[in-house]
Structure 1
Amino acid sequence: MTVLVVGGGLSGLSTAMFMALHGAPPLLVERHPTTSLHPKARGQFPHVMEALRVAGVDEQVRSASTDGQFRITRAVSLNGPVLQEIMAESPDFSALSQAPWADVSQERMEPILADRARQLGADLRFGTELVSFEQHDRGVTAVIRNLETEEEETVEVDYMVAADGHRSPIRHALGIELIGRGVLGEGTGTLFEADLEQKQFLCYLLNPDLPGGAGVLVSTDVPGRYAVGVSNTDGPKDWVRIIRTATGIPDLEPKVLDLRHGSSQTRHGVAERFSDNRIFLVGDAARMMPPTGAFGGNTAIMDGFGIAWKLAMVTRGEAGPGLLASHDPERRPYSKILADQQFLLFTQRSRPDLANDPTLPEPVSPVSALFFGYRQLGGAVITEPGDPGDLLEDPERPTGRPGVRAPYVRLANGSTTDLLGRGFVLLTGNPAYQDTALPIEVHVIDEPEFFTRYGISPEGAALVRPDFVIAWRSVGAASPAELERAWRTVLDLRA
């Protein structure tokens, strides 16, 4: 195996699945015996569904998605009074993507990712922990242990991906600090079964009768099963009383499930660096955000989507090692933006006492810019002269500049998005590019909207990476030598 992925959550399983999709199946180890038994993160944005479509699991995710509208409120209890109606329906991103929204929890999503990763050849070993690791000039030497048999094995890999969660022993061992606002609160929770009238919801609770005065109540993918949490970890909890208070049903007889009632920590912080020589951080190992906004789980999947093709191309000898140096400058600034936006939502939904904090970030508007208008600027993008280096743009008024996500354009048969995801693609109106000897898929498009949204003439072209990011463009005609030079620069291929 050329890559070891440590952690079998959303980010680790996504990395394994997309690496295998690109022909470089990794070894993944996860200390827990199975995928998550808790709902945790839920909901998939359209840009994530596009990535899942590339992997061939989008229809499965849609089938697993709960029916009906997911309602988000801030209230004293589920039965009211409602203090704020946060979201009654999902934002309309149909002008930016043909993909739908989905509403699948982590409990159901992880098995879908794991099954597909295995189908594509990834070696997934649950009930297996990382004991130790050491980096050297040729790669990483890691010792892993089967927790059932206690047998240890030493594996030699080229690279390692730290997807080992918010506590991330790997991050700590590397001496990488989280930079941010730190711990915002602690809590504990449980799952229960009951017959509630509201089926699909997320309710942020502000109620002095709850331990700590605040909590959360959320539906799961299992009908009649719900999760409740409170912002207090002191002593044992009377869960029946808490559930009655949270639901606003004083005579409710819930069945509290016999699960370990673990504590959780709400924290804001982004790793000071996302890589250390041959080790790369993804998911909660790379960033901690309050669970308000559904950015965490979605970004974890997109971390895997973004790093997998790079690892695959480098380990297959199709790109130079410098390609991997782009992981930090491309994902860390984005993570800072997302973490700050989730902190802002956290103050609005759960901590109104922080609403007047002068250091609060301004809300990103339009919100679609966070998912369709972010620019990834690093070594794997060739920016143009005079580029101001701004990280966000309005995706409904796209520029087509290198670093931005390739704009969505409807075509006679589908859309530009349908053409992307499996390798490098050149989008152009000029048939002459079809003669390129480079391993690039060329699509000739004759749509006026395409030229407008990509900022090129009919003679120009846009080179798009497997993660939908524009790596280079030529506004007008470019010579074969210019295209090859751009291609080699992006992939860190020496002459």
Structure 2
Amino acid sequence: MSAAGEERVPVLVVGGSLVGLSASLFLGRLGVRHMLVEKHSGTSRHPRGRGNNVRTMELFRVAGAERPIREAASVLADNHGILQTPSLTGEEQEWLFKEIDPGGGLAKFSPAGWCLCSQNDLEPVLLRCARELGGDLRFHTELISFDQDRDGVTAVVKDRDSGEHTTVHADYVIAADGPRSPCRELLGIGQTGPGDLFHNVSITFRAPQLADVVGDRRFIACYLTNPEADGCLLPVDNAAEWVFHAPWHPDRNETLEDFTDERCIEHIRRATGVMDMDVEITGKAPWHAAERVAERYAAGRVFLAGDAAHEMSPTGAFGSNTGIQDAHNLVWKLAAVLDGWAGPGLLETYETERRPVASATSSRASARSAEHSHPGYAAAPGAGGGRQSGVLTVALGYGYPRGAVVGADPALPVVPARMQLTGAPGTRAPHMWLQRAGVRLSTLDLYEKSLVLLTGPEGEPWHAAAARTAERWALRLPAYRIGTRPEDDLAPEQGADWAEVHGTTPQGAVLVRPDGFVAWRAQGAAADPEAELDRVLAAVLCRA
């Protein structure tokens, strides 16, 4: 604290929901001191945003949070698929898909897997993990204003309990303050896209009788298509606690006050087909499905993340996952600039990389809503008609044709037609199982706090050059030799060929960023490997 009522931190995070809390976790892992402010008094109490995709779970795995998250999600561990039916009591039903990972094919791509953990269960885990890492997280604290200059951001925050105002001086701000982002409004950043798609009221309720009706149909969600009472049913505990998303039509002058307990109970009974079911309404919360992307992701030293940067239809669970991955992309770059091993220009690549991903993903989410005939969504004729990239490819296979990468093809699509995780620059580095001193780990477990260089036994010149280059650049650059010799650092499991997996030759090398994306790849040896590494590092880290 520099003076009474004033504090100084390298990073101020505005917003304490999934994306803000994830940003705090990632900042803590990289040792970046920060403050988070959230105007609400605590984490979410409403079960929503439950689908955490494989890429998000990879990030939480590396950040040490995967195990407690899966423990918090254990009650829904056996729920899979989306069911569509006019009624839970009728015979007509269709599984839009029954398994998230049919046949277990995901294992060849990732050491992690999908996780169904509702926001009200996930946020407390992230909060606890972030605070254990030293994060200063302040709830019931609201951002009032901010100004910035070339040296930093000066923000005023208010403690909503005491009314006390504090001036916070920060080098950078992460605005993760939701779809109605006050920060985005203050920055004057507009949005592109179709806008609102549909509106729902999310109703939490107790109905123990419903578990018997559902039986062994352990779905993630059930689309109930009775034209007189459609909606989406989601289990909370597969027993007594449930959520129902009822369509809401503000365009027909329908207000939230119209959703009385009596109306909600009647709607749920008709939708499920159980007219004598005892239903106790425990909560209601409006939500809006939209497709929007911010025109810019940054203004000066303030960066948008999550719903502040993009809104997406809920089908496919892309929204919060894209936001969490925004935060991860941004945080390692902030840490690199703050620590002095990257130039400020690296921060410009946040928008270059993440905005195209959001545009492609939001479009795919809307198309998937049309394909699934999501209740409440009256898609335009022909929307979703052509099958596009699958959910896994969108969630895990996206790439960065431009940004903090060298050698990527700028003409490649951000989301490919099929999964291609073969070590190409700008793509998520391949997963392969390794052994180190008797401990099993994935290649993805190596990437978090620094750039990493991978070679094989025949890539010794690259390995030696990395050590000398790191010393000259005052840079952490661990270099791992993957092979079966006693002097190799890591041993591949099951006879896997490191070079083949990473799309190079035995004499080549791969440079991987802290976020697990390939920054550059050498197909073979070089006449002067140090000079080549100098060239690549200068480009990736925006250092002259």
Distance 1:410 1:364, change over 3 A: farther
Partner of 1:178: 191
Partner of 2:231: 215
TM superposition score normalised by structure 2? 0.85
Q: Distance in 2 between matches of 1:57 and 1:118?
A: 12
Q: Are 1:490 and 2:537 matched, yes or no?
A: no
Q: Are 1:460 and 2:485 matched, yes or no?
A: no
3-state secondary structure, aligned to 1:231: strand
Q: Distance in 2 between matches of 1:361 and 1:162?
A: 36
- Give matches, 1:51-450, under 5 Å: 51-65=59-73, 66-80=76-90, 82-91=92-101, 92-195=105-208, 196-197=210-211, 198=214, 200-210=219-229, 214-221=230-237, 223-232=239-248, 233-234=254-255, 235-237=258-260, 238-257=263-282, 259=283, 261-350=284-373, 357-358=381-382, 360=384, 362-383=386-407, 388-393=411-416, 397-412=420-435, 413-429=440-456, 430-435=459-464, 436-437=467-468, 438=470, 439-446=476-483, 449-450=497-498
Q: 1:485: how far off?
A: 2.4
Distance 1:344 1:379, change over 3 A: closer
Would the aligned equivalents of 1:33 and 1:126 in 2 still touch at CA under 8 Å? Answer: yes
Q: Distance in 2 between matches of 1:181 and 1:48?
A: 26
Unmatched runs of 5 consecutive residues or more in structure 2: 1-8, 249-253, 471-475, 484-491
Partner of 2:518: 470
Q: Deviations over 1:400-419 (max 9, x none)?
A: 22101101223354332232
Q: 1:387: how far off?
A: 5.5
Q: Distance in 2 between matches of 1:324 and 1:372?
A: 23
* AA in 1 matched with 2:77: D
Distance 1:147 1:54, change over 3 A: same
Question: In angstroms, what is the RMSD of aligned CA positions?
Answer: 2.2
Q: 1:144: how far off?
A: 0.4
Partner of 2:22: 14
What is the count of residue pairs matched by the alignment? 488
Partner of 1:35: 43
Q: Distance in 2 between matches of 1:368 and 1:275?
A: 28
* AA in 2 matched with 1:205: L
472-481 or 344-353, larger mean C-alpha shift: 344-353
3-state secondary structure, aligned to 2:504: coil
* AA in 2 matched with 1:188: V
Partner of 2:5: none
Would the aligned equivalents of 2:51 and 2:118 in 1 still touch at CA under 8 Å? Answer: yes
163-172 or 406-415, larger mean C-alpha shift: 406-415
Q: Distance in 2 between matches of 1:231 and 1:223?
A: 24
Q: Deviations over 1:118-168 (max 9, x none)?
A: 111111000001101112111111110001111111111111111001111
- Choose 1 or 2 for highest CA Rg: 2
Would the aligned equivalents of 1:19 and 1:308 in 2 still touch at CA under 8 Å? Answer: yes
Would the aligned equivalents of 2:318 and 2:395 in 1 still touch at CA under 8 Å? Answer: no
Q: Deviations over 1:73-132 (max 9, x none)?
A: 222233345553112111231110121322111111111111111111111000001101
Would the aligned equivalents of 1:95 and 1:396 in 2 still touch at CA under 8 Å? Answer: no
Partner of 2:487: none
* AA in 2 matched with 1:432: P
Would the aligned equivalents of 1:395 and 1:407 in 2 still touch at CA under 8 Å? Answer: no
* AA in 1 matched with 2:184: R
Partner of 1:481: 531
Q: Distance in 2 between matches of 1:246 and 1:124?
A: 41
3-state secondary structure, aligned to 2:277: coil
Q: Deviations over 1:220-264 (max 9, x none)?
A: 25852111121124323322212212322111111211x3x3322
* AA in 1 matched with 2:231: G
TM superposition score normalised by structure 1? 0.93
Would the aligned equivalents of 1:191 and 1:228 in 2 still touch at CA under 8 Å? Answer: yes
Would the aligned equivalents of 2:140 and 2:159 in 1 still touch at CA under 8 Å? Answer: yes
Q: Are 1:3 and 2:11 matched, yes or no?
A: yes
3-state secondary structure, aligned to 1:60: helix
Distance 1:23 1:222, change over 3 A: farther
3-state secondary structure, aligned to 2:108: coil
3-state secondary structure, aligned to 1:144: strand
353-362 or 199-208, larger mean C-alpha shift: 353-362
Q: Distance in 1 between matches of 2:181 and 2:433?
A: 42
Q: Distance in 1 between matches of 2:477 and 2:445?
A: 16
Q: 1:388: how far off?
A: 3.2
Distance 1:159 1:79, change over 3 A: farther
Q: 1:317: how far off?
A: 2.1
Would the aligned equivalents of 1:39 and 1:221 in 2 still touch at CA under 8 Å? Answer: no
* AA in 2 matched with 1:248: G
Q: Distance in 2 between matches of 1:364 and 1:151?
A: 52
Q: Distance in 2 between matches of 1:350 and 1:358?
A: 12
Distance 1:60 1:480, change over 3 A: same
Would the aligned equivalents of 2:46 and 2:120 in 1 still touch at CA under 8 Å? Answer: yes
Q: 1:59: how far off?
A: 0.9
Q: Distance in 1 between matches of 2:39 and 2:380?
A: 42
3-state secondary structure, aligned to 1:304: helix
387-396 or 52-61, larger mean C-alpha shift: 387-396
* AA in 2 matched with 1:440: L
Q: Distance in 2 between matches of 1:124 and 1:163?
A: 14
Distance 1:208 1:398, change over 3 A: closer
Q: Deviations over 1:286-335 (max 9, x none)?
A: 11111111111222222222111111111222211111101111011111
Partner of 2:251: none
Q: Distance in 1 between matches of 2:238 and 2:98?
A: 21
Q: Distance in 1 between matches of 2:447 and 2:321?
A: 19
